[in-house]
Structure 1
Amino acid sequence: MCCSVGFARSLGLALLPLALCCIVANLLLLFPMGEITDMQQNRLASYIWYFGGLGGGGLLMLIPAVVFITLGKCSCCWNESLMMCGSVLAAVVGLVGSGYCFVISGFALAQGPKCFTSLGWSYPFAEPIGRYLLRPETWSQCLQPVHIVEWNVTLLCVLLGLAVLEFIICLLQLTNGLVNAVCRPCCYKQDLYDCN
Structure 2
Amino acid sequence: MCCGGCAKCLGITLIPLAVLCTLANILLFFPGGYPESSDHISVEVWYFGGILGSGVLMVFPILVFFGLKNNDCCGCCGNESCGKRFAMFTSVIFAGVGVLGAGYSFILSAVALNRGPKCSLHNDTWTYPFENGDYLGNYTLWDVCVSPESVVPWNLTLFSLLLVMSGAQVVLCAIQAINGLFGTLCGDCTCCGVRLFV
Q: Could you tell me the TM-score, scaled by structure 1's length?
A: 0.89
1:83 matched residue in structure 2: 87
Give 1:78 deviation, angstroms.
Answer: 2.1
Tell whether 2:144 aligns with 1:134. no
Deviations 1:158-187 (A, max 9, x none): 000001110110000000011222233xx6
Match of 1:163 among 163, 166, 177: 166
Deviation at 1:41, TM superposition (A): 4.2
- Cα deviation digits, residues 136-165 of structure 1 (max 9, x gap): 111011000000000000000000000111
> Which of 46, 49, 52 is matched with 1:49 structurally?
46
Paired AA for residue 26 in structure 2: L
- The aligned residue for residue 111 of structure 1 is 115
Distance 1:194 1:173 in 2: 22
Match of 2:195 in 1: 194
AA aligned to 2:151 is I
Counterparts of 2:115 and 2:127 in 1: how far apart (Å)?
Answer: 11
Distance in 1 (CA, whole Å) between partners of 2:191 and 2:150 is: 60
Within 5 A, what are the aligned runs for 1:20-31?
A: 20-31=19-30
Q: In 1, Cα distance between the equivalents of 2:52 and 2:38?
A: 22
Deviations 1:62-106 (A, max 9, x none): 110111012224642222112111111110000001100000011
Between Structure 1 and Structure 2, which shows a larger proportion of helix residues? Answer: 1
| TM-score, length basis structure 2 | 0.88
State the 4+ residue runs in structure 1 displaced beyond 3 angstroms.
Answer: 190-193
Could you say which residue in structure 1 is the equivalent of 2:5?
6
Q: Say which SS state the counterpart of residue 126 (structure 2) adopts.
A: strand
Q: How many residues align?
A: 187
**CA separation of 1:55/1:148 partners in 2, compared to 1, >3 Å: closer, same or farther?**
same
Deviates more, 1:73-82 or 1:172-181: 73-82
Aligned residues: CA RMSD: 2.0
One-letter code of the match for 1:166? Q
* 27-36 or 160-169, larger mean C-alpha shift: 27-36
Question: Among the aligned pairs, what percent are the same residue?
Answer: 39
Q: Does 1:121 align with 2:122?
A: no
Q: 8 Å contact 2:32–2:152 — kept in the other structure?
A: no
Which amino acid is the alignment partner of residue 174 of structure 2? L
State yes or no: 1:147 paired with 2:150: yes
The 1:143/1:14 distance shift into structure 2, 3 A limit, reads same
Give the deviation of 1:47 after TM superposition: 1.1
Residue ranges of structure 1 left out of the alignment (5+ in a row): none
Amino acid in structure 2 at the alignment position of 1:133: L
Q: Which is worse superposed, 40-49 or 54-63?
A: 40-49
